[in-house]
Structure 1
Amino acid sequence: MPDATAVPDETAVPDETAVPDAGPELVDARLLVGEPDGLQRLWTPHRMVYIEGENKPSDDAAGPGCPFCRIPSLPDEEGLVVARGGVAFVALNLYPYNSGHLLVCPYRHVADYTDLTDEEVAEVATLTRTAMRVLREVSHPHGFNLGMNQGDVAGAGIAAHLHQHVVPRWNGDANFLPVIARTRALPELLADTRARLAAGWPTGPDDGGMIAP
């Protein structure tokens, strides 16, 4: 019987005639359906959560079922509200792309940008500008992404209540962690980010400051 405690001879010459394990049988891709187009594919199955509408409102109606209608009724800390204007408000995104990702929303439940009143258009613009100024002062980003996705097909998470994104960007903030680990790394808790931005927000209404809605 072989000695189970024996140490393998590291000087032994491997048997070159042995056939290695070939692993699973491979199929020639040329035998499959499709035309090569020169592109590589990066599969992201976790995106199905978004595509299938998980955590989205069940309908387009205004009211407590719409997060952007519900947030203004909450205390600032609970709703992650950074600033309140006369017809619009600013809140942190609960699912931020980056730390400090803000949303500028009208109080009124409206989906299409062209349906905003002149007052709403003006205040959304003013709050967006102030958000950039405050983020620059507090967080020192290298740039911003500003955008408003109009409609489900355009990528709007909640299309029934329009919202403007203000996303601070830093050099090197994009990586593969969200793809390979379904995780986005954020250096600060949302409550702490909200408190810092709210503290840095100006108080004068003419400069996008906080006033009673």
Structure 2
Amino acid sequence: MRDVTTSPRGARRKARTATAILDAAEGLFRERGLQATTIDEVAEAADVSVGSVYVHFKSKTGLYLALVERALDLNEQAMARVLDLGLDSPLERVLAAGDAYLRFHLEHPGAFQMIALRVLEPGSGQSDPEVEERIAERVEALVGAVQADLEAAVRAGEIRADVDLARATRFVWGAWNGVIALSLRQDRLRIDDDELAATLAVGRRLLSDALRADAAGQ
């Protein structure tokens, strides 16, 4: 007898169920937080059984890590669009990467928040070391691409040669994340999407002016 779970129809059904669970969990995690949300609530929101959640994701931690990986898929797709611009200037690619990161957040605010929750609200229980390592490598690859363009900008004479590129990269990446995180605050310091875009535009100009070789008289 044919196993329906391995048939094309069964695979599609399984994928739809997994997506429904992920979407439901993302909404609840954004609204209530990771630790306050239960698997029972996720199952109810996704209109599936509790057992189905465990079959697909093993645990709440596994479910959350799957959401982070999905978010990173979207993040990588957004950052890859910089290559499609065909920019010859490495510095302009760095600045465009910041623009792409902002678009990633504006188009997928839930995805950015899922990644941020790893820092803002660590999950309870044991995580999967292999998945954690894979996620760390993916984030490091995104940050490394920015540093590679900064290094290329030095070789091209576009930015100052005395810049500590590793630290500059961490600052740039941290600044992007920090400003975007302001839109997730629940107090009076929260900024809306328009102010977020305007603030990052100012940061873009400041970064460009600070790094350019001609600004240092070189």
What TM-score results when the alignment is normalised by the length of structure 1? 0.29
Bigger helix fraction: 2
Larger radius of gyration: 1
What TM-score results when the alignment is normalised by the length of structure 2? 0.28
Structure with more contact order per residue of length (Cα contacts < 8 Å, sep ≥ 6) = 1
Bigger strand fraction: 1
